[in-house]
Amino acid sequence: MSPLNVPSPDKSPLEGVWCGDKQKTIGNTFSLSGIGIHSGESCIAAFRPAEAGSGIYFIYQNKKIPALVNNVTRTDRGTSLSGIHVVEHVLSAAFGLGIDNLEIELSSPEPPVLDGSALLYVSALKNSGIIEQNREKAFLQIKDQIEIKDGSSSIKIAPFNGFKVHFMIDFPYIGKQTFVFFDNFEAEIAPARTFGLIEELETLKSRGLAKGASLENALAVGKGGFINTPRFKDEPVRHKILDLIGDLSLIGHPIKGEIFAVKSGHKLNIELARRLFELC
């Protein structure tokens, strides 16, 4: 039995779907290359327009992998989908720009980490041209709140006529940070890099993780605080929102709701995404 406290209401907490804005894809094909933060392997990611209604999907070794929560296989130090790993940064960039349909073909099983944020993905997607398509978006409209708890961590979604995120973290050497995100993904969230404790690095590498991590693609934290210069004084909590947005994009629909997250990570994010996906 799952240790997560997941209430099961008698009726759906979804109002249903609300249609309005047009779906979007990119106008031109482009590629980005770099190493995976955990694998350390080089990867070329080719981005191509996709037809309306096709959603966002990856192609790896000639296999199509839809970016949907029912394909999630792991949530340890990143979100993995059926053989590909750490997909949340690139998906966050697409979601933050309102892109609904996109093909991403990978030469290796982990997308490039680039600078550790979503900013370079955002810039490249915008430069390719974002175009409207002849089909309306289907938003998930939250009617009643859903809350999931796991010890001192929790995540809740409540009705709201838009998309808003409140997040609180509490990490060693960082302490408590809070941030509220509402509408400026590119400026407030996309530049926030992944972060980690220097003292955990060797342990992670012994588990086959963080092989590609460096001060060029991550914000490092030690006993004295930040080792390299942060882009924001509260960069870690902003990056947690970036991850959350990428994880919730796996529902396959944009959301109209307000999210309250306390020390949430990929595990709780994906539990909420699964719950909403099952109700669609």
Kindly list the catalytic residues: 266
Amino acid at site 262: V
Q: Contact at 8 Å (CB) between 79 and 270?
A: yes
Q: Are 80 and 73 in contact (CB under 8 A)?
A: yes
Q: DSSP 3-state assignment of 193?
A: coil
User: DSSP states of 198-241 as a string?
Assistant: GGGHHHHHHTT--TT--TTTSEEEETTEESS--SSTTHHHHHHH
For residue 114, the 8-state DSSP code is T
Question: What are residue 252's phi and psi, to 5 degrees?
Answer: 90, 5
- Rounded to whole angstroms, how far apart are CA atoms 21 and 30? 25
DSSP string, 60-72: ETTEEEE--GGGE
Amino acid letter for position 215: L
Taking the CA atoms of residue 104, residue 106, residue 110 and residue 115 in that order, the dihedral angle to the nearest 10 degrees is -70
Please answer whether residues 278 and 83 qualify as being in contact, where contact means their C-beta atoms are separated by less than 8 angstroms: no
Strands 102-106 and 56-60, by their bridges, are parallel
